[in-house]
Structure 1
Amino acid sequence: MLISVLFLIPGLRATVHADAAAVRQAPPAVGTQGESQVERPQNGLKNATSPYLLQHQYNPVDWHEWGPEALALAKRQNKPIFLSIGYSACHWCHVMERESFEDEETAALMNRCFVCIKVDREERPDIDATYMAAVQRMTGSGGWPLSVWLTPDLQPFYGGTYFPPLRRGNSPSFRDVLNYVHSYWIDHAAAAADFGQQLIDEMHRRSNSSGAEEMPGRELLAAALRLSGQYYDPTHGGFARPPGFAPKFPHCTELTYLLRLGTVPGNERASEIVQQTLREMAAGGIYDQIGGGFARYSTDREWTVPHFEKMLYDNAQLAQVYLEAWQATKDPDFQRVSQEILDYVLREMVGPEGGFWSTTDADSEGVEGKFFVWSKDEFTEVCGEDAGWACDWFGVTQDGNFEGRNILTRRQDPAAFAARLRKSPEEFRAAVDILRSKLYARRESRVHPHKDDKILASWNGLMLSAFARAAAVWDEPRYLAAARSNADFLLTKMLDENGRLLRTRRLGHSHIPGLLEDYAFVGQGLLDLYEADGDLRWLRAALQLQGVCDSVFVDEERGGYWSFPEDHGELPVRIASASESALPSDVGVACMNAARLGMLAGDTASIDRARRGLARYRPQMENYPTGFCQMLILLDWLTSRPLEIYLAGEPTDEHYLAELRRLRTQYPPYRVVAAYEDSKLEALQALIPAAEGKTTRRGRPTIYRCREGVCDAPVVLE
């Protein structure tokens, strides 16, 4: 992400604007893929497991991993820490490496003046969130690469994002900034520490603020809908600041709450907003028209030119948004996109143990988007005699739409286009699929972008939910097999000897204690898988993980949850926030899990815990509701008084199966479901006591519908 940054520090101001066009022409990286890396000594990142950190192991910068040794070194030498945070698929992180971290003179200055620490934000979102919040307080904005200077006591006193290598107008170079910060530290170390401590104190106050006595009512959902409408692009869908409406991000949780809100009479506009947005996204260049899957975001209003990196968490969430859109509308195009996302993940993002890899880079051969774009000549060659209509369908021209090449789009109505070719819609779809296969095969022969093959528990939990829900809704065995394989992997490879989650795994090594998002997202995935196949192993594990949330992460005093444990490490402030960005709110998902499990088990304390979470963040939600969309989803779910459904029967009985299919495709999903055989009821009761006595009647499948613990008369299905 590239952002213009205003850097603020007592006595020092500078504005830096990055020139994207100039940066794109930077020379290829040395030290990540260049031959000269083998001639260089390795720095302190040589034993890292993160692919992002390993990309920097041959930099002349004396990088260290975050940990006791590096932090002790800063104290011992009384040097500030230069903390650089990024991730493997970050285009501008690679740019800053090429321009500055590979430069010998710049590296020498960094090594002389600072203890330099490199962090993968995907491995350590706790560190990233802490210091991103500080930089946002200092500058009013943030992004990656994140560049922060800390005192040896970890107080942030100066920061920004991307810095250019050379002075541009009034904007200083990175080397200028290094000299400025070093001089300021030498002359004003005490002032720097005071400034940093003020930031830490403010962050502490925010994380420890009290909320309201009661959770908000449904009127907040209406207020959120009005706010979403202010940032909605009525021409091309999506949400961004008018009048330019760019860049555009998917906003998955916002789309989800709007889609569900759109089922309420009088709120049809909410559903229309979602449907237009999803259609525009799927037709644009942000969607990989050949291989499936979405890029991180669109740089333009029309969704044409993406930032080409593909993130597992985006695709996990978007697969579910399109799935819910299909449930709400039965539009086959939404089903197609959701399934193409999942098929892309199965084809390209699954490791040998069953875990899902994290990201695909934007760059290949040092050029952004090179793997994904087409010249008209190559496209025409691959398509052969179909090239004429194929160019028209995919928007391919001689001049292209991205630096002389073509990002494929799909802007035309398929039924009208098929009629023009005198084909039925089915014949046309088959013809397009044949061309996509040919284009995919040609693209596979290119140099691929780097894949970050580390496995993150939280992101895997999101994708587990996607496969489990798709398996249940579409009765697709491949998706169920993928979900089961991933759940088994998480429970056998990413738990320590005490049954606690570990955050990351690569090359057979799992490490870093899990954060709230790991427990919340994996727990959600396991609960979704339980509802998909009824295996009590998944329900038992979901309850165990929620138990950790409710003992290690819960904030009993104020409600809600902390993002990391109290004994997690050296960070100067413990964060609790229900707001969100690209990922759903960890607090929101943990509260939703508590509510779902509580309703299933008849555990009112768990439901109250979810309600207290909403009450805790009510003031912030009322101030800016669309910054808390996962909490809005929870609010909508709780205030819709969801059903608790217990379905007893034999899995071979046609009436049992028909009812199960109906429940799984029903929208909106305001329910929890336990489906089981009588022979498994005793084991189920041990986990969810509310199931006691809910057996089949007269030897026939029987459904029990309850609400807030009060059940209607059982209905025998026959």
Structure 2
Amino acid sequence: MVGDRASFTTFGLYAFQNSENDYQLISANCIRTFATLFECFSRCELMTPEKMNSFSAMDALTKANRLINEKSPYLLQHAYNPVDWYAWDEEAFRRAKELNRLIFLSIGYSTCHWCHVMERESFENEEVAKALNDNFISIKVDREERPDVDKVYMTFVQMTNGNGGWPLSVFLTPDCLPVFGGTYFPPHDMYGRIGLLSLLKILAEKWQKQGDMIKKQGEELLKLIVAASKTKRSTLPELKIVLNTCFEHYQGAFDEENKGFGGAPKFPRPVDLDFLLCCYGVMEETEKKNFALRSVGETLQSLLRGGIHDHIGKGFHRYSVDAGWKVPHFEKMLYDQGQLMTTFSNYSIITGELKEGIRDIAEYVHNNLTHELGGFYTAEDADSFPSKNSKEKVEGAFYVWEAKELDSILDRSDVRGALGCQVSEIFKDYFDVKPLGNVPVNLVASKVMPQDQHEELSKKNVLRIGSYSGEIASKYDIAKSALEDLVERCKRILYKARQERPRPHLDRKIVTAFNGLMISGLARGFVALGEKELANRAVKAVNFVKEHLYCAEGNGLIRCVYVNEKGEIVHKSVKTKGFADDYAFFIQGLLDLYESVFDESLLEFAKQLQVTFDELFWDSASDCGYYNSESSSTVIVRVKEVALVKGFSRLLSEQDNAEPMANSVAASNLLRLGTILDKKNYLKRAKNILAGYAEHIGEIPFALPKMVTALLKLTEPFNQIIVVGSSEDTRVLEMIQVINSFFIPNSCLLLVGKSNSFLLKENSHLETLVSSVTVPTVFICNDMGCCAPITNVVRLKEVLSTL
């Protein structure tokens, strides 16, 4: 991630802090309390590298450490570090207690740019390795493999610093109580910020001299965090007030010039866009409806035109380092592709526009992130080798171009063809390519991290559409259609040329939660486009999860599997059980796919998983939400009091960010399942989740847009659109096509006939409807009853337009 400089005011230390502009739910009083607890650290003197003891070099780079036995791509990247790494396991905790050492916990993921930077600068540095090996027990965690561990300690860092990100660097007592943390640390003191070597020396000395005091502080911190995480049911706020608060926020935050919300670094934030589309679908006030649709459409259009979009290989990068979507942070995440595909699809259903965004993501994921058996890989890295002979990876090397390079590729006679003009010149003009590069000088200059002193993006161009096609066509006196053909032809040529470059690292971990989000995207894409192949890919992914990420004997999900160099699916020796987001996101995917292909076995599987989810994760004490992990989680085992850490492990999830909150998605799932299967207990549980977050919804609803969407569905009439008939009947298919042309967020769609044994068994109301008609019929029902049966598409359109 790109580092934003922020001060550790609680500690008197400085470090680069990574931020997703997340809305924090931490009070100022809480932060002031942390500052008081850590006052002793604020008196630490900065240590220069010269003050550190010198020692001979260690010949450890060629020797593998114990991470070589792991399956995680991220942990394997560190298997040849001279640092004596442990995985998050009993061996590490036992060793910390035996030696009475602080634990240095480093959390990241394999495609994280700044994780690579810290590895290159510090973890491959023998001086740093010696300081860690002599004084600490060092533990590496893949945040995508163990989100429970990540969330616990990210909460600590965010509460003590007000910011967070990866790499996450946290120091713990041998009992795993956090005592100090940050994100990226340079190896040496620089620009007024403390370096990792100085920090290690300070903390090692503090631990030796004041270990008991530090333990006590850790215990006090834990109590404060747990107190902040306590949840209780409150009265749900009035929906109208919540929506008005949200709208005022989004209207104020909307960037009219560049589109999107907020400033740099700027994230697409599909949860915000989806919320606005949902509001458009249910609100009656014209001005707000217009803003909701306009802000989403203009943002999606800017994403497609900007540098955050990979115009050559398709798909979207994680975020933009500037406010104008010009220069991205180049990693590509599956969870972004899946959510954006859903957003593009819903927008396209409403307007009929931007279908190219749906196809773009589908093609990228199919070509680059799909295992042959149907599961989806996690991410592609931001960094890669600039050439086959390069020894060091560079951020964005695979994606950027020099102007003269484009000239050499595109100005060949076979490329110019019949146009008889300078193809390269037109292409460069269209994509805002400059001879000296198009990365703003202030962005290059602001990159003051050591590895960016070489100005990696200097003289490089990130392709972005600078002018509309009509303007360029007029400038070069060619037809608009000819220009568009030229651009597409050039993109195909550049795609082939780019394939000769060393590709970025692909994280071949297949994570259940992220697959769930991609299944939803494909399902909604099928609804928007009617292209059966998208639904087929989603079905194949579901089958992959059933086969490789599901334990039938316990009805439980597994967090992830790995793919080795031979393409074979492999598991850890002890499988990591699924977490709350695995259940919530995958159940959502099953429900979205059911409403696309109407295979009731998807509903049956969803119900089965929901039962397991409820049994293993529901907070029975507060009765208002799900924990992040099962009661058997090692995070709970690690810190003494089970009840405390259960609350602790849920705290950070209390907002919808780059990934939605599991409880937000779960609330909507329960509403849908409860309505489809006529399960009142599911509807009650959904209401309890919302009641547990009522205070947050009332105070800062824009931090919980997915949760507010669930509140909207609960408060407004939630419609069952029930089609009675056979999926092989052309009249039924025509009715479904009409229904799919409407975007009705507060509804669920069912296809039911006499052969649907599961649905008819679960919901007796459906059996009554099926037996009451002899021709294809649509019923639209809610808590107030059902409308008159609809048997023709003209009447169906009329009724749907009123919902």
TM-score class, shorter: over 0.9
Of residues 63, 79, 85 in structure 1, which corresponds to 2:101?
79
- Measured after TM superposition, the shift of residue 642 of structure 1 is 2.2
Moved more, 657-666 or 77-86: 657-666
Match of 1:15 in 2: 14
Is the 8 Å Cα contact of residues 303 and 309 (structure 2) preserved in structure 1?
yes
Mapped pair 1:705 → 2:780: yes
2:504 is matched with: 449
Report the residue type matching 1:567 in the other structure: S
SS in 2 for 1:172: coil
Give the Cα separation in 2 of the matches to 1:693 and 1:637.
Answer: 25
The TM-score, its normalising length taken from structure 2, stands at 0.83
The TM-score normalised by the length of structure 1 is 0.93
Inter-CA distance 38–102: structure 2 relative to 1 (3 Å threshold): closer
1:715 counterpart (779, 790, 793): 790
Equivalence map 1:490-509=2 (5 Å): 490-496=545-551, 497-507=553-563, 508-509=569-570
1:315 Cα offset (Å)? 1.1
Describe the superposition over 1:243-277 as per-residue Cα deviations: whole angstroms up to 9, x where unpaired. Answer: xx211011110111112223423312122222221
- Provide the C-alpha distance between the structure 2 equivalents of 1:468 and 1:259, rounded to a whole number of angstroms: 17
1:407 corresponds to which residue? 462
Q: C-alpha deviations, 1:305-344, integer Å up to 9, x for none?
A: 111000110111111111111122222xx21012101110
Question: Partner of 1:543 in structure 2?
Answer: 607
Cα distance change, pair 715–328 in 1 and its aligned pair in 2 (3 A): closer
In structure 1, what is the equivalent of residue 25 of structure 2?
none
Unaligned runs of 5+ in 2: 19-57, 386-392, 417-422, 440-457, 564-568, 640-644, 794-803
What is the match of residue 114 of structure 2? 92
Structure 1 range deviating more: 130-139 or 418-427:
418-427
Query: How many Å apart are 1:714 and its aligned residue?
Result: 2.4
Distance 2:278 2:481 in 1: 31
Q: Secondary structure at the match of 1:652?
A: coil
Decide which moves more: 582-591 or 275-284. 275-284
Please report how far the alpha carbon of residue 214 of structure 1 lies from its aligned counterpart in structure 2 after TM superposition: 3.2
- Report the identity percentage: 34
Query: Alpha carbons of 1:542 and 1:215: their partners in 2 closer, same or farther (altered >3 Å)?
Result: farther
**Residues 1:459 and 2:459 are matched in the alignment:** no
Residue 296 of structure 1 deviates from its aligned partner by 0.9
User: Could you say what the CA RMSD is over the residues aligned between the two structures, in angstroms?
Assistant: 2.1
For 2:656, the equivalent position in structure 1 comes to 580
Instruction: Please name the residue that 1:468 is paired with.
Output: 523
Q: 1:570 aligns to what SS in structure 2?
A: helix
Count the aligned residue pairs.
693
**Cα deviations across residues 564-584 of structure 1 (Å, max 9, x unaligned)?**
122222343222343122101
| Map of 1:397 onto structure 2 | 434
Take 2:632 and 2:763, find their aligned partners in 1: how far apart are those partners? 31
Structure 1 equivalent of residue 625 of structure 2:
560
Q: Structure 2 CA distance, aligned partners of 1:682 and 1:78?
A: 61
Map 1:132-531 onto structure 2 (within 5 A). Answer: 132-214=154-236, 216-240=238-262, 245-263=263-281, 264=283, 265-266=285-286, 267=288, 268-331=290-353, 334-365=354-385, 366-384=393-411, 385=416, 386-402=423-439, 403-418=458-473, 426-496=481-551, 497-507=553-563, 508-510=569-571, 511-531=575-595
- Kept after mapping to 2: 8 A contact 1:215/1:614: no
Instruction: Measure how far apart 1:383 and its partner are.
Output: 2.4
DSSP 3-state at the match of 2:14 = strand
* CA deviations over 1:180-237 (Å, ceiling 9, x no partner): 1111111111221122122211221222232413354232011011112222212101
Deviations 1:476-529 (A, max 9, x none): 121111101100000111012312000010032342000010000000101111
Q: Residue type of the partner of 1:143?
A: G
1:543 deviates by 0.8
- Matched residue SS, 1:546: helix
Residues 129-177 of structure 1: CA distance to partner in whole angstroms, max 9, x if unpaired?
A: 1001101122221111110000011110011111112221432221000
Q: Give the Cα–Cα distance (whole angstroms) in 2 for the partners of residues 442 and 184 of structure 1.
A: 55
* Partner SS for 1:183: helix
Using the alignment, how far apart are the partners of 1:521 and 1:154 within structure 2? 29
Does the Cα contact within 8 Å between 2:149 and 2:635 map onto a contact in 1? Answer: no
Within 1, Cα distance between the matches of 2:753 and 2:484? 42
SS of residue paired to 2:12 = strand
**For 2:759, which of 684, 687, 705 is the aligned residue?**
684
1:695 to 770, 775, 780: 770
Q: How do 1:617-628 and structure 2 match up within 5 A? A: 617-628=693-704
Change (3 A) 1:559 1:39: closer
- Give the Cα–Cα distance (whole angstroms) in 1 for the partners of residues 276 and 406 of structure 2: 39
Task: Determine the structure 2 residue equivalent to 1:29.
Answer: none
Equivalent residues of 1:84, 1:118 under 8 A apart: yes
In 1: Cα distance, 2:542 partner to 2:784 partner: 30
Q: d(CA) in 1 for partners of 2:693 and 2:147?
A: 21
Equivalence map 1:622-641=2 (5 Å): 622-641=698-717
Q: Using the alignment, how far apart are the partners of 2:570 and 2:733 within structure 1?
A: 41
Show the counterpart of 1:33: none
Q: Provide the C-alpha distance between the structure 1 equivalents of 2:333 and 2:526, rounded to a whole number of angstroms.
A: 22
**Aligned AA for 2:504?**
P
Aligned to 1:157, the other structure's residue is in SS state: strand
**Are the aligned partners of 1:563 and 1:587 in contact in 2 as well (CA < 8 Å)?**
no
- Note if contact 1:5-1:160 (Cα within 8 Å) is conserved in structure 2: no
Question: Does the residue aligned with 1:4 lie in a helix, a strand or coil?
Answer: strand
Using the alignment, how far apart are the partners of 1:653 and 1:421 within structure 2?
53
Mapped to 1, the partners of 2:666 and 2:267 lie a distance apart of 24
